[in-house]
A and B are shown apart, each in its own frame.
Chain A
């Protein structure tokens, strides 16, 4: 005798509906496709960078698909150096210097 159950139809129908509703309530898929490989700082180090070798900078954020936030300084030889995101003294000084230089260039 094969498997027999009372009200199997109703039970399985209820199970099916319940399963789908659970999926609807809890599952929110947003990763349809992976981020294309993004160039990121993976770590930073709080080591002062000489002001005279820095040409420009930008802020790396987790919004941009990177694992950590950071300040990236680009040198005159196009190296990209990773510094902490916080505005500590030496980072702020380099940033303000670069911004002054940019304003002067625009005048």
Chain B
């Protein structure tokens, strides 16, 4: 409890004037009561008494109804501390299992016959690397960030690089499937399937993703929250550009991490769907066409289901940054909760990619069955293959032989699954 400062008459007069000014502007009391309060205050000051609780209470009650207070989000942080670790653990377990199996089978048994196979293998690597960052974010949600600025920058950059790489690869897979269909009918020579071309494509995709991750390396840092004394890993922009930069970058992120891949997928898969419909008149078996249609619908549907809610919430938050739309504390808290939930939903895409792009393929099922029989005969336990960096994958790809690699039928066969 702090006491009134002792001082000379001038200071005393100044304080009294201040109090008088505050009262006259902030309180609509009867003049007589005002004078009484002033006298009482002077009395306390002269005898160095502490401010009594009833005085503070009276002031608080008079003023708080009129003043705006800080929006306390401890309950949002508490929810995150429980919800996020659970979600991240589930995503980590399922995602590691699925993507590791994809990598193991491709490296052990399945030849990279098409560009789509190369993209799918890289997609599994990107998803694995992204999943490895989840334990750090789970710890951040519970305890705050406690492992330093360098780890903050690296983890954030890894997350963005691999998330962007994942989205780019989904676009590339759509394009290659469409190209395979077109090439199948045109019987053009297969320069696109050359080893050199594959390496270049992978390097381009990863190069772009790394470039997209660089701003995180620059802007992400560890800051302490003043109100909760808690360290967090987050983007901090230079003061001069904070608002404009954040809004611009969020809009670009929505445009290029969601809208662009979605438009590419819709264009390519609609063309493929139309071609499949036309194939009906050519006597292609109905069951085969129906299975291909289900794959297309599942791929686009899951993409929308996981990514659309998150990008809508992100867009709303961007508009809030620009126009300061959210002024109610409850609305702001609900927006933060929605952001946590939809971002977790978006993350599940890297668990579902193995199912959508690999496991429903009939050729992959054959490899799994063959593998299971092999292990049951030898009695060896299941073991994940060693994960290798993307560069080694490209080099390994270069050394593999490709009989019939130029066959248009193989592309079509891979696509129709």
Q: What residues of chain A have their CB less than 8 Å away from a CB belonging to chain B?
A: 1-5, 8-9, 12-13, 15-17, 19-20, 23-24, 26-45, 47-53, 55, 58, 60-65, 67-68, 72, 75-77, 79-82, 90, 93, 100-101, 104
- The answer to whether B327 touches A33, judged by C-beta atoms less than 8 angstroms apart, is no
The answer, among A2, A12, A63, A68, for a CB contact under 8 Å with B237, is A63
In angstroms, Cα B163 to Cα A43, docked, is: 35
Cβ-based interface call for B414 (8 A): no
The answer, among A1, A12, A19, A82, for a CB contact under 8 Å with B70, is A82
- The answer to whether A47 touches B70, judged by C-beta atoms less than 8 angstroms apart, is no
Question: SS class of chain B's interface: helix, strand, loop or mixed?
Answer: helix
Q: Mark B309-334, 1 if CB is under 8 A from A, else 0.
A: 00000100000110010111100110
- The answer to whether B186 touches A23, judged by C-beta atoms less than 8 angstroms apart, is no
* Across-interface contacts of B139 in A (CB, < 8 A): none
- Known contacts A43-B327, A80-B70: does B256 contact A23 (CB below 8 Å)? yes
B200 (CB) vs chain A CBs: closest residue = A17
The answer, among A5, A19, A47, A48, for a CB contact under 8 Å with B264, is A19
- Known contacts A29-B249, A31-B253: does B185 contact A58 (CB below 8 Å)? no
Report the count of interface residues on B (CB-CB < 8 A).
110
- Known contacts A23-B256, A29-B164, A42-B328: does B69 contact A37 (CB below 8 Å)? no
- The answer to whether A36 touches B232, judged by C-beta atoms less than 8 angstroms apart, is yes
Q: What residues of chain B have their CB less than 8 Å away from a CB belonging to chain A?
A: 2, 5, 18-19, 21-23, 25-26, 41, 51, 55-56, 59-60, 63-64, 66-74, 76-77, 80, 137, 140-141, 144, 156-157, 159-160, 163-164, 168, 171-172, 175, 178-179, 181-186, 188-189, 191-192, 201, 204-205, 207-208, 211-213, 215-216, 219-220, 223, 225-228, 230, 232-237, 239, 242-243, 249-250, 252-253, 255-257, 260, 264, 271, 275, 278-279, 282, 314, 320-321, 324, 326-329, 332-333, 336, 339-340, 343
* Across-interface contacts of B159 in A (CB, < 8 A): 32-33
The answer, among B77, B144, B204, B326, for a CB contact under 8 Å with A37, is B77
Closest CB of chain B to A60's CB: distance in Å?
8
* Across-interface contacts of A81 in B (CB, < 8 A): 63-64, 67-70
- The answer to whether A48 touches B26, judged by C-beta atoms less than 8 angstroms apart, is yes
* Across-interface contacts of A58 in B (CB, < 8 A): 226
- The answer to whether A2 touches B185, judged by C-beta atoms less than 8 angstroms apart, is yes
* Across-interface contacts of A76 in B (CB, < 8 A): 2, 51, 56
- The answer to whether A32 touches B68, judged by C-beta atoms less than 8 angstroms apart, is no
The answer, among B164, B179, B275, for a CB contact under 8 Å with A12, is B179
The answer, among B188, B204, B255, for a CB contact under 8 Å with A9, is B188
The answer, among A8, A13, A27, for a CB contact under 8 Å with B164, is A27
Smallest CB-CB A-B distances: 7 pairs: A27-B256, A2-B185, A37-B73, A37-B76, A80-B70, A39-B227, A82-B68
